[in-house]
Amino acid sequence: MSKSTVTLLVVCASLSFAMVLRILPWPAEWLVANPDWVLLFVVYWNMAIPDRFGVVAAWVTGLFTDALTGRMLGQHALAYTLVAFLCLRLHRQLRLSPLFQQGLMILLFHLLCQVLVFWTQNMRAGNAVAAHYWLPSVVGALLWPATFLALRRLRRSFNIG
């Protein structure tokens, strides 16, 4: 198998795993804090292989996430595309930053995605947002170091990048 085929398979498998983590039937207490795993994986692959995983891949991943979660088609696609664009613009700085600082950027990316999804869902409704709505962003930022290290290990084991 060629190296590009292996890269494609590993990235697709990891994103599929992230989508499974997203829709697992977690207990109600955990479901409130379930981060956007797909976003974490999209950010990682944008940082790790920016020349092969970019805005279009993030958009397609977002469309799959919308279909998987039953949301309006395009919500996550828009959010992931915007985050991917920001990651690609900042990937050199992000890669050189310590995991703590990367976690802060992950928090900002998560919050941006949540604001975009909330805005697209509630354009006309004018619904208020509960405080626990923002909890997945914090949990995602806290889980970033473990996610980063696990995906880096996966990438290195398949000699990607």
Query: Where are the domains positioned within the chain?
Result: 3-27+35-154
Q: Reply yes or no on whether the pLDDT at 65 is more than 90.
A: yes
For 1-27, what is the mean pLDDT? Answer: 94
Share of the chain above pLDDT 70, in %: 97
The mean pLDDT value of the chain amounts to: 92
Instruction: Tell me if 40 sits within 8 A of 143, measured CB to CB.
Output: yes
For residue 33 the two structure tokens come to 């804090």
Instruction: Tell me if 94 sits within 8 A of 87, measured CB to CB.
Output: yes
If DSSP codes are grouped into helix, strand and coil, which group holds residue 97? coil
73 class by beta-carbon count within 10 Å (0-12 exposed, 13-18 middle, 19+ buried):
exposed
Answering whether pTM is above 0.85, one says yes
CA distance 138 to 125: 26
Give the model's pLDDT for residue 21.
95
Give residue-wise pLDDT tens across range 75-128: 999 999 999 999 999 988 999 999 999 999 999 999 999 999 888 877 666 677
Give residue-wise pLDDT tens across range 88-98: 999 889 999 99
